[in-house]
Structures are given as C-alpha cells and as structure tokens.
C-alpha cells in the first residue's frame, strides 16, 4: 500500500472556537491508482491534501506513505520524504520567478537527486514546452505555467502525485489538455494520483472518487 490514511482528524482554532475540519477520514491508495477528492468549498479537501503531503500537521490518526508514518516525523524528515516520494501540483503553479521554465522543470528532480536531462527533455516535448524552456514564468500563459508545474512534479519520478485543483485557473479546453498530460504522465511513471477537484466531469476520468462532506467521507 503506497498511501494509507487512517482516522485522520484536524481542528483549527478560530475566534468563535475550535472548528473540526477533518473528522476521522480513512482511505488507501496503491501504486498506479488514481483518486479524485471532491466536496463543497470548506469541506476539508485542501487541508486533507496538505496533511497527506506533510505540509500541515494533523491532530489524530495516521498518514503512512510507503509504510513511513508522518505522525512520528519531524519537519526535516517530512521534507526529505516529500523530496524522495511525493510530487505536488498546485492551482497557483508556484513556479520560481527567477528561474527559466527549463530550470523550474528540473528543480524538484535536482532536489531529489534524480535529475535526468534526457527525461526532462522527454517531459518538455510531451508537454509541448520544448520551445519555451528559456522563457521565464512571467513570459508564459497560465496553461503553459501549469504544464511546467506538472513537468516539475513528474521530473522527480514521484511514487505519489498530489494535485490541488490543477486545472482550476484554466479555461475548459486548456484544462482538458492539461488533464490529459497529467494522467498520461502519471500512467507512464506508474505513480499514484490523488487530485482535488470541483469538477465531476474531471473526477470521472480518474479511477475512483472520494467525496468529503463536513470533514467526513460521504
């Protein structure tokens, strides 16, 4: 089992008192599987994704990636696990403005110690970026930036890819094209995919779906 989430709970403190965002969420995901995470705004989707990525601490339960339990890890160990095992694609792209598209694409692979120039070139060609690698993020369209972000995540050959509304800022045609590339890249790498989306149409393209409602699997 690549990803095992068991009884996950998360509460945020607010001026009105504690708010339970995740209330005992459990699911599992194996290599090669894809899973859509759906739910209304505020249902806990992004929080769940951030907890799985080790970016957000959780209150109770367990998150195990490749058998490693995040609850027993410090921040440095979680960061090391992300570098080795997890790829992240955000709605806001999060490209480094001072790096070219090519350098952004290779960034995560370099951190993971798995930079392969030939594989990066293959990804760039597959993503339609070969002629854009010398450009900076501000010189790229939203769809092009998102393709760089997907390539950056895939270039490190992660076992688990986490995507938070990866097409949320794109028009439907561009979003569909980006989704095609994301699914093809995951399939080629044999990686598992957990993707947050509001779109039932896109969710239907994945192997399974989890629906969150008031912090629980509905």
Percentage of the chain lying above the pLDDT 90 cut: 74
pTM: 0.91
* CA atoms within 13 A of residue 123's CA, in its CB half-sphere: 29
Whether the pLDDT of residue 139 is over 80: the answer is yes
Could you state, in order of their start, the residue ranges of all structural domains in the chain? 3-217
Q: What fold is seen in the domain 3-217?
A: Rossmann fold (3.40.50)
pLDDT given at position 11 = 96
For the four alpha carbons of 178, 185, 166 and 180, in that order, the dihedral sign comes to positive
CB 215 within 8 A of CB 22: yes
pLDDT, residue 189, reads: 81
Q: How far apart are the first and last CA of the chain?
A: 23
**Which pLDDT belongs to residue 126?**
85
Does residue 127 surpass a pLDDT of 90?
no
Is the pLDDT confidence value at 116 over 90? Answer: yes
């Amino acid at each position: 089992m690549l990803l095992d989430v068991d009884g996950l709970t998360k509460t945020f403190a607010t001026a009105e008192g504690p708010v339970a965002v995740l209330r005992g969420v459990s699911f599992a995901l194996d290599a090669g599987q894809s899973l859509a995470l759906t739910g209304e705004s505020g249902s806990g989707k992004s929080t769940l994704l951030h907890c799985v990525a080790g970016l957000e601490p959780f209150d109770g339960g367990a998150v195990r990636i490749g058998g490693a339990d995040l609850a027993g890890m410090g921040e440095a160990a979680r960061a090391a696990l992300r570098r080795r095992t997890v790829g992240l694609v955000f709605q806001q792209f999060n490209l480094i403005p001072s790096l070219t598209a090519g350098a952004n694409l290779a960034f995560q692979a370099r951190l993971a110690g798995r930079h392969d120039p030939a594989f990066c070139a293959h990804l760039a060609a597959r993503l339609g970026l070969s002629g854009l690698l010398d450009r900076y993020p501000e010189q790229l369209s939203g769809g092009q930036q998102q393709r760089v972000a997907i390539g950056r995540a895939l270039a490190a050959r992660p076992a688990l890819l986490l995507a938070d509304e990866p097409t949320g800022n794109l028009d439907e045609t561009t979003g569909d094209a980006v989704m095609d590339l994301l699914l093809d890249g995951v399939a080629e790498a044999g990686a598992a995919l957990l993707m947050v989306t509001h779109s039932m149409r896109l969710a239907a393209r994945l192997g399974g779906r989890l629906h969150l409602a008031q912090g629980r699997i509905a």
